[in-house]
Amino acid sequence: MAVTRYAELFSEQDWARLKEDLGLPPRQAEVLRCVLRGMGDKQVAGATGISVNTVRSHMRRLFGKFGSNDRVELILCTFGYLRRYHLQDDRAPASRASACKAEYPSAQSHGT
């Protein structure tokens, strides 16, 4: 699998602001950054020096924070958040991830 160069996705300024606005702990931010690069669990583990089980624990926490069920939803939420609050009108949300939960409801809420 080809891994996307991070610089192509977010500027360092956008990434720093996103981490701060979402209140991501350093390790969760590092895992999310790897996921945004297209890495799988084993690749994330290798890049961060943590076990695959620890990567999966961080992923579960990120899914909960964003109200997502999988990586695709997590990535969509991250890009949606950045687009809405930083690239368009530069305003911070009242609640960090709640807007993502509202915009991308989980599959369970659709009866699937």
- Distance, CA of 78 to CA of 87 (rounded, Å): 13
**pLDDT value for 109:** 41
pLDDT along the chain (112 residues), means of 10: 55 81 90 92 97 97 92 90 64 50 44 38
Could you tell me the residue ranges of all domains in the chain? 11-110
- Determine the pLDDT at residue 107: 37
| Secondary structure, 3-state, the chain | CCCCCHHHCCCHHHHHHHHHHHCCCHHHHHHHHHHHCCCCHHHHHHHHCCCHHHHHHHHHHHHHHHCCCCHHHHHHHHHHHHHHHHHHCCCCCCCCCHHHHHHCCCHHHHCC
* pLDDT value at residue 13: 81
CATH code for the domain defined by 11-110: 1.10.10.10
Q: In this predicted structure, what is the pLDDT of residue 57? A: 97
